Amino acid sequence: MTKSSPPRPRVALYGHDTCGLGHLRRNLALAAALRAGDERPDVLVVTGSPAAQRFERPEGVELLVLPTITKDGSGRYEAGALDVPLEVVVGLRSAVLTGALAAWQPDLLVVDKVPRGFHGELEPALEDLRTRGGTRVVLGLRDVLDGPATARREWQRDGGEAALDRWYDEVWVYGDPAVHDVRADLGLPPHLARSTRFLGYLADGRRHGVEPVGRAGERTVLAAVGGGVDGADLTRALLATPLPPRTRLVLLPGPFAAADLLADLDRAERARTDLDVVAFTDAFPDWAADADAVVCMGGYNTVAEVLATSTPALVVPRTRPRREQLVRARAMSRRGMLDHLTDPDPAALADWIARAVRGDVHHAAARRRSPLDGLRAVQHRAGHLFRTPTSPRTESRRAS
């Protein structure tokens, strides 16, 4: 009788995803990296994004989509599809999370950004996993959360320090402290600062090998505004930006762009020969590498994917309601990793694009000096945690 191989580790990746695509895209990149590691864990990605099914995912990765939450015109959270009070949806999401994680019994849970989950929805599940034992719990943080004062105020309001003390083994920061140190923003005490590991940007390893975006005899400017929730100003400015000869604009307005903006884009695309509008793609990393220049907003995933290329990039960050993108763009611009522009003015955009496609803008050297192998670092760190279980229950529970 041959000895059966040990069961593969189990991972759960949680992102609350109230709007936009940032948490989902980051967790899908982490899932793909973990699956490519030596342990090849089975991965459950838990998300609140209604766009989750649009993205390809590797074999061995499953999605659990929570009831959706969105923001109204004033920035207040409310139920997404259901016509019920917010607290009802949060309670439903919390019950789903608790039941799903109890059934899944992950060896590793990675929570994106919010240590207690959206409005505390993850707390019962965290407490249950702590009681059961056998699950390593990690908080994953992007390089910048917000302006320092706002980040610390929200961290203290939400009880971040107490949550880390009670439920978490480590903090992973997907960035470089030499560019921006989130520990200082949050005011982490020494014992939590010591358990915080900077793994580098989740940059290298996110390409899919798709067809290039460029055309023979033309130069390509690739423009992206993330999910499209707050990209209308930049999108309209790009439509009004004159392009150099033999240059075309490939514009990604995002799946959540407003209907009136999409109608304007459709009319512009039919009237122009130098404009292509692509409503949705997950090929941005490949297209960015192939383009002659990139103009984009300053969300974490978009910027990380640009950093993995040698393509010159201009970041036009949003500044409301969070200053995260502005802080990131300024910090990276100071180090020569990209350029940034705080106002999407067509004349300024035209000037930068003209210089970039001429070859007068250079960012590659500064990027090569940055730690861009965060996905590989996640593989190694997760492998270490798989090999150091919290209790014997991790080894025995699969037979139960």
> What pLDDT is stored for residue 322 in this prediction?
85
Instruction: Name the amino acid, one letter, at 242.
Output: P
Number of H helices, E strands in the chain: 16, 15
Among residues 313, 277, 269, the alpha carbon closest in space to that of 295 is found at 313
Among residues 300, 316, 302, the alpha carbon closest in space to that of 238 is found at 316
Q: Averaged over 111-124, what is the pLDDT?
A: 96
| pTM for this predicted structure | 0.92
Residue 394 has pLDDT above 50, yes or no: no
The domain segmentation of the chain, as residue ranges, is 10-200+373-399, 219-368
pLDDT per position as a tens digit, 57-84: 889 999 999 999 987 766 688 998 899 9
Q: With bands split at pLDDT 50, 70 and 90, how would you rate the model's confidence at 392?
A: very low
Residue 184 C-alpha from the chain's centroid: 22
> What pLDDT is stored for residue 246 in this prediction?
96
How many C-beta neighbours within 10 Å does residue 73 have? 5
Name the H helices within 37-181: 86-104, 123-132, 148-157, 160-167
Q: Report DSSP letters for 171-224, one per residue.
A: EEEES-TTT--HHHHHT--HHHHHTEEE---B-TT----PPPS--TT-EEEEEE
Q: Averaged over 27-55, what is the pLDDT?
A: 93
329 compared with 388, residue with greater pLDDT = 329
Q: With bands split at pLDDT 50, 70 and 90, how would you rate the model's confidence at 29?
A: very high
> What pLDDT is stored for residue 70 in this prediction?
87
To 5 degrees, how large is the angle CA 294–CA 295–CA 299? 105
> What pLDDT is stored for residue 208 in this prediction?
83
Q: What are phi and psi of 357, to 5 degrees?
A: -75, -20
Q: What are phi and psi of 138, to 5 degrees?
A: -125, 140
- Give the mean pLDDT of the chain: 92
Q: How far apart, in whole angstroms, are the C-alpha atoms of residue 250 and residue 386?
A: 43
Burial of 80 (0-12, 13-18, 19+ CB in 10 A): middle
DSSP 82: S
Residue 397 has pLDDT above 50, yes or no: no
Q: Give the range among 287-296, 316-325, 344-353, 355-364 with minimum mean pLDDT.
A: 316-325
pLDDT per position as a tens digit, 287-331: 999 999 999 999 999 999 999 999 999 999 998 888 999 999 999
Tell me the three state secondary structure of residue 252: strand
> What pLDDT is stored for residue 279 in this prediction?
87
Token pair in block for residue 130? 């702590």
Q: How far apart, in whole angstroms, are the C-alpha atoms of residue 293 and residue 313?
A: 6
Q: Are 148 and 40 in contact (CB under 8 A)?
A: no
Instruction: Tell me whether the CATH fold assigned to 10-200+373-399 matches the one assigned to 219-368.
Output: yes
Q: With bands split at pLDDT 50, 70 and 90, how would you rate the model's confidence at 400?
A: very low
Residue 353 has pLDDT above 80, yes or no: yes
Among residues 314, 347, 340, 318, the alpha carbon closest in space to that of 232 is found at 318
> What pLDDT is stored for residue 52 in this prediction?
85
Residue 1 has pLDDT above 50, yes or no: no
Burial of 112 (0-12, 13-18, 19+ CB in 10 A): buried
> What pLDDT is stored for residue 85 in this prediction?
96
Among residues 7, 39, 12, the alpha carbon closest in space to that of 106 is found at 12
pLDDT per position as a tens digit, 171-195: 999 999 999 999 999 999 999 999 9
Give the fold, CATH level 3, of 10-200+373-399.
Rossmann fold (3.40.50)
Name the H helices within the chain: 22-36, 86-104, 123-132, 148-157, 160-167, 182-186, 190-194, 232-239, 259-271, 284-290, 300-307, 324-334, 346-357, 364-368, 374-386, 393-396
Q: Are 150 and 118 in contact (CB under 8 A)?
A: no
Token pair in block for residue 142? 């992007």
> What pLDDT is stored for residue 399 in this prediction?
34
Q: Are 93 and 68 in contact (CB under 8 A)?
A: no
Q: How far apart, in whole angstroms, are the C-alpha atoms of residue 33 and residue 400?
A: 29
pLDDT per position as a tens digit, 237-280: 999 999 999 999 999 998 889 999 999 999 999 999 999 999 88
DSSP 152: H
CATH class of the region 219-368: alpha beta
> What pLDDT is stored for residue 74 in this prediction?
64
